Structure formats: C-alpha cells, structure tokens
C-alpha cells in the first residue's frame, strides 16, 4: 500500500488544466486539472523563472499530471535546494502522489497532507 492509496479519488477533469503562479509571500504555485504540456505552455514564458522562486505548491485539484507537470515540480524543488530550502507540497491529489512515487521523487518535497 502506498501513500496514494490513502487519498480520495479525484473527479475527472472537464478538460484543460491550469498552472498559476502567485508571486506573493510566500511564492505559491497553484496546479489544477490536467497539468500537462498544454497547461504548462499556456502558463506563459515567465513560468520557468517563477518556478525558481516557488516555496509551496497547492496540488489538491490536479486530476492528471504528465512529465511536463513533473518537470515544473522538479524545477521548483531543485531551485529551492540551491537556496537551502525545500518546496512544500500542499495536499497533493492522488495523481500527483502517484507520479512522485513512480518516479521516486517523493523525497524532494515536504508533503503536507
């Protein structure tokens, strides 16, 4: 049994996803719906620079995440390590937890259920 097994199922998405960067204090990345290539590209060209400042990720509304979504999380985690800190993953949905478990990336984040 994995951590993902303990999470409630996520309702199917009606299509599309959102990657929204809130550059307040702390810098928060909101992920919703299908976090895939399309959602990441739609977020715009400033996303990569913004990911390097992320302190927390709200991933509770993610219904699907692919390698591009994982890339966003890893970019934020690596940048945080370079700053001497870690990214807090807030209430990640089952698809996010499963992706992190399958790719052995769970230890890169402080997961707050």
Please give the Cα distance from 81 to 74 (Å, whole number): 10
pLDDT averaged over the chain?
85
CATH code 3.30.750.24 for 18-112: yes
Closest C-alpha to 33, from 95, 77, 90: 95
CA atoms within 13 A on the CB side of 108: 21
pTM score, whole prediction = 0.79
Q: What is the pLDDT of residues 12-66, one digit of tens each?
A: 444 567 777 676 777 899 999 999 999 888 888 778 888 889 999 999 999 999 9
pLDDT at position 89: 96
Percent of the chain with pLDDT over 70: 82
Domain boundaries, the chain: 18-112
CA atoms within 13 A on the CB side of 91: 10
């Amino acid at each position: 049994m994995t951590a993902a097994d303990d999470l409630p199922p996520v309702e199917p998405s009606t299509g599309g996803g959102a990657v929204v960067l809130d550059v307040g204090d702390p810098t928060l990345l909101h992920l919703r719906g299908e976090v895939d290539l399309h959602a990441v590209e739609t977020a715009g060209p400033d996303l990569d620079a913004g990911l390097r400042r992320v302190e927390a990720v709200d991933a509770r509304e993610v219904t699907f995440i692919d390698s591009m979504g994982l890339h966003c999380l890893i970019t934020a985690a690596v940048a945080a390590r370079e700053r001497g800190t870690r990214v807090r993953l807030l209430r990640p949905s089952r698809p996010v937890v499963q992706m992190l478990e399958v790719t052995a990336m769970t230890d890169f984040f402080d997961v707050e259920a």
